[in-house]
Amino acid sequence: MASTATRTRRTLNVWPGYVDALATLLLSVVFLLTVFVVGQFFLSQELTGRDETLAKLNRQISDLTDLLALERTNRRNQEEEARNLRTTLAGVEAERDRAKVQAEAATVSQGAAGTLDKQLEAERGATKRALSQIDLLNEQISAMRRQLAALEDALSASESRDRESQARIAELGSRLNVALAQKVQELARYRSDFFGRLRQILGNRPDIRVVGDRFVLQSEVLFPGGSATLKPEAGPELDRIAGAISDLAKQIPADLPWVLRVDGHTDARPISTSQFPSNWSLSAARAIAVVQYLAGKGIPPQHLLAGAFGEFQPLEAGATEEAYARNRRIEMKLTER
């Protein structure tokens, strides 16, 4: 009896160890969740700060562009005024030369007509007036030259400011391109997550495959032949896709301009019915049907885009039934707006 009681106590004493292990595991999980939440918070703060910086850069570029346009307008006006002053200066100098010629002619006339006092006095008066006019014209020429020098200095300063503005705009444009490239890289990461989730959900099916950066679903999976009405059995497939998109949409930042592009394609055989007068109409109607279904499953409509290519973007050339089947498809692509 004593041996049985001892074994019973030993068995019961094992449970505190299990409880400690479970408590330690639970604390580890709580710690990891806390680290993840803190990381997400700092990441969102960083993205917010970057967007504010991007908006500020855009505003600075706009202000500099307006300032540059104003400087160019002022420089053109100054150049036009300088041309006018040069023209006026040339006219004044020509008039001054004519006055000198008249003064010289008057002086010669004074020597030749020494016996004619009245004519001499008249010529002397004309000479004085001509000399006064020459002095006045010289003063005007000096003033115009000073104005021309001031305009040239202003033009030089304007050109210097223009070069500085161009350099600053180039620097801001470079920073803006870097910020836009970061946005594109961020969207590419979410696109990779989206493809990975769809691969897991849809599995390795021959009628659903990846071509480049797009998911391709054969039209026969979703629509009857020559119709844009979804089959009843297409619902589960689209529901799984909508679920993957909804989960991913919760992780993408609200300021990232992403869209799910749904493109309709047909084979090369023409169609002409009252409902679908061309393959373009059929492919557009099928893309719109898929977009409307996804919107009905909770995908925000502003993140959905329907496109139609008709028969003009085939995956496989040829006139075989296999080629026709591969070209009848719906493509989905996560891209930027």
Residue 296: pLDDT band with limits 50, 70, 90: very high
With 70 as the cut, is the pLDDT of residue 8 above it? no
Q: Does 172 share its domain with 266?
A: no
- Count of Cβ atoms closer than 10 Å to residue 333 Cβ: 20
Q: Does 235 share its domain with 290?
A: yes
Q: Does 270 share its domain with 170?
A: no
Task: Taking residues 1-30, report their average pLDDT.
Answer: 70
Q: Distance (Å, rounded) from C-alpha 282 to C-alpha 51?
A: 41
Q: Does 256 share its domain with 207?
A: yes
Does residue 317 belong to any structural domain of this protein? yes
Task: Taking residues 157-172, report their average pLDDT.
Answer: 77
Number of domains in the chain: 2
Q: Does 207 share its domain with 326?
A: yes
Boundary (domain end) residue, out of 143, 161, 177: 177
Q: Does 168 share its domain with 237?
A: no
Does residue 230 belong to any structural domain of this protein? yes
Residue 112: pLDDT band with limits 50, 70, 90: low
How far is Cα of residue 268 from the mean position of the Cα atoms in its chain?
36
Q: Distance (Å, rounded) from C-alpha 210 to C-alpha 213?
A: 7
Tokens describing residue 156: 């030089």
Structural domain of 160: 118-177
Q: Does 222 share its domain with 316?
A: yes
The rounded percent of the chain whose pLDDT value lies above 70 is 80
With 90 as the cut, is the pLDDT of residue 289 above it? yes
Task: Taking residues 266-292, report their average pLDDT.
Answer: 95
Does residue 255 belong to any structural domain of this protein? yes
Summarised one tens digit per residue, pLDDT across range 265-275 is: 999 999 989 99
With 80 as the cut, is the pLDDT of residue 329 above it? yes
Whether 308 and 264 have beta carbons less than 8 Å apart is answered as: yes
Does residue 51 belong to any structural domain of this protein? no
Does residue 95 belong to any structural domain of this protein? no
Terminal alpha carbon distance of the chain: 81
Does residue 137 belong to any structural domain of this protein? yes
Q: Does 237 share its domain with 136?
A: no
Length of the chain: 337
Task: Decide which of 298 and 78 is more confident.
Answer: 298
Q: Does 258 share its domain with 317?
A: yes
**The model's pTM:** 0.46
pLDDT of residue 179: 58
pLDDT of residue 275: 93
Q: Does 223 share its domain with 122?
A: no
pLDDT of residue 232: 92
Does residue 170 belong to any structural domain of this protein? yes
- Lowest-confidence pick of 2-11, 127-136, 144-153, 187-196: 2-11
Task: Taking residues 313-329, report their average pLDDT.
Answer: 92
Q: Does 216 share its domain with 326?
A: yes
Residue 140: pLDDT band with limits 50, 70, 90: confident
Q: Does 163 share its domain with 264?
A: no
Summary mean pLDDT of the chain = 80
CATH number of the domain to which 276 belongs:
3.30.1330.60
| Residues in Cβ contact with 176 at an 8 Å cutoff, skipping those fewer than 6 apart | 54, 57, 58, 61
pLDDT of residue 10: 54
Does residue 206 belong to any structural domain of this protein? yes
| Residues in Cβ contact with 308 at an 8 Å cutoff, skipping those fewer than 6 apart | 263, 264, 280, 281, 283, 284, 287
